[in-house]
Chains A and B, each alone.
Chain A
């Protein structure tokens, strides 16, 4: 198992914690976290691992920090 810190931004914090530690099986990806947290895919458009841009299928390592942002598109 790996332990990953997850930080949620903007509306993703509604009805969820702002920060949390999640345990996942070895080899888990960002996509697995989104499913685990029940976040609709279209609401998780910008993902970071340890502060750097990452793709949905990127694998996580123990002690990674994941940040998830929803799309902001108004003006």
Chain B
């Protein structure tokens, strides 16, 4: 079968096959999460747990790859499942139509080898980091706002979000910069490359480092945390 031929050379045959036995949880199936699920599914990651408690609305259409004119009002997690049935029926997508919170996070995420942050709020991200700490599972953090994006990989014990969002009150920051189509797609790609490196145990991770992207000025900077 030619499905994974073009993964080769970038991944060894063994690495490629190993992805079939991995489980990755994607928390959030919107701007970041839609692209992340699409890429993980096409790569052939065996099991994807897709978590989102929202339904699609028309304001999602400018950027959320899983949204379209026919699925407005439908749960994002279930639309992710439908999409993967079309794209790659070799893999299994487990939709979780529920918002992640302190009570359900560890139960939903416990089977994952890597957890991907594709949320749209800081409070949810802190809950996710706490769950990853408890479960001792690595987490790939990505966030965007307007022309800006940031990505870092957090291993158990690192608690990098405590530094990135130090002194953020109420766990919330209003997004005053908008969400265009290109920033989440770029951040999602970098998050997925971090996930793959974690899964195959090769390459250099953005651990205790954060890639900060400013597309307005074309600056890509790695900062130490």
Q: Which residues of A contact B45 (CB under 8 A)?
A: none
Chain A interface (Cβ < 8 Å from any Cβ of B): 9-11, 18, 41-42, 45-46, 48, 51-53, 55-56, 67, 69, 71-75
Q: Which of B9-17, B66-74, B171-179 contacts A (4 or more CB under 8 A)?
A: B171-179
**Shortest Cβ gap from B192 to chain A (Å):** 14
Listed in ascending order, the chain B residues whose CB lies under 8 Å from chain A are 28, 30-33, 117-122, 125, 142-150, 163-169, 172-173, 175-177, 179, 184, 212, 214, 217, 223-225
How far, in angstroms, from A51 to B167 measured CA to CA in the complex?
19
Q: Are B167 and A74 in contact (CB under 8 A)?
A: no
In the complex, the answer to whether A73 meets B169 with C-beta atoms within 8 Å is no
User: Can you list 18 A-B contacts with CB-CB less than 8 angstroms, sorted by A residue number?
Assistant: A10-B145, A10-B146, A18-B217, A45-B165, A45-B166, A48-B223, A73-B125, A73-B168, A73-B173, A73-B175, A74-B175, A74-B179, A75-B28, A75-B30, A75-B32, A75-B117, A75-B120, A75-B179
Flag if A42 contacts B224 (CB, 8 Å). no
Cβ distance A70 to chain B, nearest Cβ, rounded Å = 8
Closest 7 CB pairs of A and B: A75-B120, A73-B122, A75-B32, A10-B148, A74-B175, A71-B173, A74-B145
| Residues of chain A with a CB closer than 8 A to B120's CB | 73-75
Query: Given A42-B169, A74-B179 in contact, is the A52-B32 Cβ separation under 8 Å?
Result: no
- Assess whether A51 is in contact with B224, with CB atoms less than 8 Å apart: yes
The count of A-to-B residue pairs whose CB atoms sit within 8 angstroms is 84
Q: Which residues of A contact B143 (CB under 8 A)?
A: 72-75
Known: A42-B169, A71-B173. A53 touches B225 (CB 8 A): yes
Report whether B175 and A41 are in contact in the complex, using a CB–CB cutoff of 8 Å. no
Most chain-B CB neighbours within 10 Å: which of A41, A45, A71? A71
Q: Are A9 and B166 in contact (CB under 8 A)?
A: no
Chain A positions within 8 Å of B172 at CB level: 73
Provide the bound-state CA to CA distance between A53 and B176, in Å. Answer: 25
Which B residue's beta carbon lies closest to that of A69? B212
With the chains together, A17 CA to B135 CA distance in Å? 44
The smallest C-beta distance from B32 to any residue of chain A, in angstroms, reads: 4
